[in-house]
Structure 1
């Protein structure tokens, strides 16, 4: 009976994930809680205030920080902000009093792992610490999965290359072995060997003249008996003495090189060329035997391999990027659900409403991430239909206004009566424009001190094209961000962004034969201008225009 397979043991928890920084201004709490944590297997560092805690964090880099929310000087909220700005993956748990519930909710919005209330119960603290360790383990496993994916890509690529090489070698060996078996029979077999080789075979004299060629050579390259050896090499005609036969005559050595050959019909193809010197009794090179193999198929396979490698690499990046984005959304969803649960427990409907609003926004963000991933993974052909610009704008604003209104941002729209009609694939262009609106809302939320904010939408056009503009008065962008804005997986929002939205928006505009321009300065907002032809035409590859 076969033995049952061994269970896969989970990777051991690194010692670094058990290093913890305890920050509290009360010495008694630091001493008692420090002993409790040490007994639980943690390496405990202690600090008496927020400034000391930040200094120790920068020096020791503990994986978990447990801090009192109220400390003199830099309090727990400020310490949380500073740590998350420098090390977003550090897990921070805050200690609160019964009257600090609003600060506790604020800490969750700032991506704190959890909070525990005084007096601290061992069971509650252990649950919070267990959650922090689980999040650390999840990120560690995600990094390991990403590295494994990269190694798999490299391994598979090397295996494909080796398989192609071995297949080509096997084919050549089989052909030559069969031919040499015939050659061993009689002299006439040598003629069959020369004529039946599955490559271009020719014999050249020392004056670089073709003296013989097999049928495949003559059928593809033409009747070249008596003509110059270099004539089939278009890239060697300006310097004929650098052709393979001439170099073999000069050096007296066999040579192998990749060349471009021109066929009798003018078509060009890549070839692997091998030349062998044939010497007379005096040891001088008398003739040169040249073998040339068409490697067009090998070149095509190389290109397919390169494309596959790029797609697999992009897939790995997408997995990493989307994982970080979804992780941030789940943190926000946790905060919303906590608000709703605590509101129900306390009989406070306004808190329930706030929690449901946060949860609803997080679900909408998940939906957008999934749609972006689907758009990236599978591109469908355009299905354009004619509609008025006003109809398109109405559908767009009906969705965009909801998010703007929810965040207290005014949305002002101006659709010119002369905008007219255009042919557009609404299913592709509408999500693209919504990505621009999402970007505008996020830019406004990143500059709360400059509120209240306004987003302006304009639609106009002339006889040839339609122009759609989305303008915000948010945080703006510098040149470095603006130049990379439409790159795949680039995001200026840190963990809150996947780097897919604006890339897909630009691709959608380009597929309609249009273009997208960006004007932005730090602190002065941004304007995205989309130009679309009245009739779509497939296009891609143009870089975004910036100003």
Structure 2
């Protein structure tokens, strides 16, 4: 069976050999281009791009070895069969080392020529088949990767929906309990029940509002918009936003800016939101404990080893620390130990850190306080 592209370039400086070998090749079903030297061969190769070249090794001017090297430079996939005399076996070996497909000795027999060309075209076919399989394998890997990512996304969505459903169910149960107590108060005309039921309903409505706002904030920071800015600015804005609440609790926020004024490439709105969450959690702990101090400081950490320059925001309090359960589920979705909490605040902080290519860490000191470190590449 002849190959799909049966074109062969024949190169020999002897006209008689070109005629005889050319007729043999045509009888075997090949389309033959003939050249008398390397320069003519390269011109024909550029014009017709035959997949196989049969060339004499010894020729005036550029010899067969040089022609082999130039052909491989122009097309690494071209198959070159070298023709040499009986006394030039060292040249034949050199040609094989330079990636020739085969070599023949003069006088070239019809059978040997046919076998050599069959091997050359078989190598071309195998290479094409391997390339096709490789492309199919890459497509298969890409498709399977997409399917795996889709499955992971769906699993993540499913887990999120499950956790969110539990959060909503808890709020709904709280509302039902409040309505039940209100109903009893109306039925029995008991003001104490009415007040108790109303407080339960109001508290759960607040939970719904907080959950909605936290979900909106979480979605808002799906993509960062970093820009060059003073890294102390979002920290200063977060402290200012919570100053009144802190003073009402009798614990003014202490702020120590030290990361600026040299600019860093961060999203200041996202960083401010993360710091608001961390400071608000500390204020909640201060309110629950009745004492304690809260501070925020910024630092610029120089590059060292494989670590790039970083901006670090440290929120620290002396409000008693976190319980083991709170530490274990600190960054878990919809997990909270606060009565009005949603479990999204710290999850948002972690997302903002990861979107920047940074991280957030918790250091807990039971009975004393907690420290959160938000570290971002500068």
- Scaled by the length of structure 1, the TM-score of the pair is 0.37
Alpha-carbon displacement from aligned partner over 1:443-495 (angstroms, at most 9, x marks no partner):
668xx6xx3243513224458645331425245255x9757744x64847499
Match of 1:456 in 2: 294
Distance (whole Å) between structure 1 residues aligned to residue 316 and residue 339 of structure 2? 24
Instruction: Measure the CA separation in 1 of the matches of 2:243 and 2:171.
Output: 20
Question: What's the RMSD between the two structures over aligned residues?
Answer: 5.0
Correspondences of 1:197-212 after superposition (within 5 Å): none
Counterpart of 1:506 in structure 2 is 350
Who is 1:313 aligned against? Answer: 155
Equivalent runs, 1:36-185 vs 2, <5 Å = none
Measure the CA separation in 2 of the matches of 1:511 and 1:305: 24
CA distance in 2, matches of 1:456, 1:506: 21
Distance 2:233 2:218 in 1: 29
- Counterpart position of 2:78: 223
- How far residue 329 of structure 1 moved from its aligned partner, in angstroms, is 2.6
Partner Cα distance (1:322, 1:357) in 2: 20
The alpha-carbon distance between structure 1 residues 225 and 317, as it changes in their structure 2 partners (threshold 3 A), is farther
Partners of 1:415 and 1:373 lie apart in 2 by 26
Partner of 1:380: 223
Closer, same or farther: CA 310–498 of 1 in aligned 2, 3 Å? farther
Deviates more, 1:322-331 or 1:414-423: 414-423
In the alignment, what sits opposite 2:322? 476
| Length, aligned pairs only | 259
1:371 corresponds to which of 216, 232, 254: 216
CA contact (8 A) 2:234 2:268 kept: no
Change (3 A) 1:500 1:194: farther
TM-superposed deviation, 1:366: 1.9
State the partner residue of 2:4: 192
How big is each residue's C-alpha offset from its partner over 1:335-362, in whole Å with a ceiling of 9 and x where there is no partner? 566777859x766897698457524532
Residues 226 and 400 of structure 1, relative CA distance in 2, 3 Å threshold: farther
Q: How does 1:255-294 map to 2 (within 5 A)?
A: 290=126, 291-292=129-130, 293-294=133-134
Whether the 8 Å contact between 2:334 and 2:343 is mirrored in structure 1 is: yes
Cα offset, 1:414, TM superposition: 0.9
CA deviation vs aligned residue, 1:155-175 (integer Å, no higher than 9, x gap): xxxxxxxxxxxxxxxxxxxxx
What's the counterpart of residue 206 of structure 2? 361
Residues 439 and 328 (structure 1 numbering): CA distance in 2 closer, same or farther, change over 3 Å?
farther
- Assess, with a 3 A threshold, how the Cα gap between structure 1 residues 492 and 361 changes in structure 2: closer, same or farther: closer
Residues 221 and 458 (structure 1 numbering): CA distance in 2 closer, same or farther, change over 3 Å?
A: same
Distance 1:352 1:485 in 2: 31
Q: Distance in 1 between matches of 2:177 and 2:249?
A: 23
Q: What runs of 5+ residues in structure 1 fail to find an aligned partner?
A: 1-186, 196-213, 228-263, 265-286, 536-547
Q: Is the 8 A contact 1:321 1:499 kept in 2?
A: no
Give the whole-Å Cα distance in 2 for the aligned partners of 1:437 and 1:321: 25
1:301 partnered with 2:143: yes
- TM-fit CA distance, 1:226: 7.4
Deviation, 1:313, is: 0.8
Distance 2:75 2:217 in 1: 49
Deviation at residue 328 of structure 1 after TM alignment: 1.9
Q: Which has the higher contact order (CA 8 A, sep 6+)?
A: 2
For 1:412, the equivalent position in structure 2 comes to: 252
Contact 1:512–1:532 at 8 Å: present in 2 too? yes
Which of these residues, 354, 373, 378, is aligned with residue 529 of structure 1? 373
Distance in 2 (CA, whole Å) between partners of 1:471 and 1:335 is: 35
Shift in Å, 1:417 = 6.0
> In 1, distance between residues paired with 2:348 and 2:296?
21
CA, structure 1 residues 504+411, in 2 after alignment: closer, same or farther (shift >3 Å)?
A: same
For 2:104, the equivalent position in structure 1 comes to none
Asked whether the equivalents of residues 519 and 527 of structure 1 are also in contact (C-alpha less than 8 Å), the reply is: yes
Distance, in Å, in 1 between the alignment partners of 2:343 and 2:240 is 24
In 2: Cα distance, 1:339 partner to 1:414 partner: 43
Q: Indicate conservation of the 8 Å contact 1:412/1:456, yes or no.
A: yes
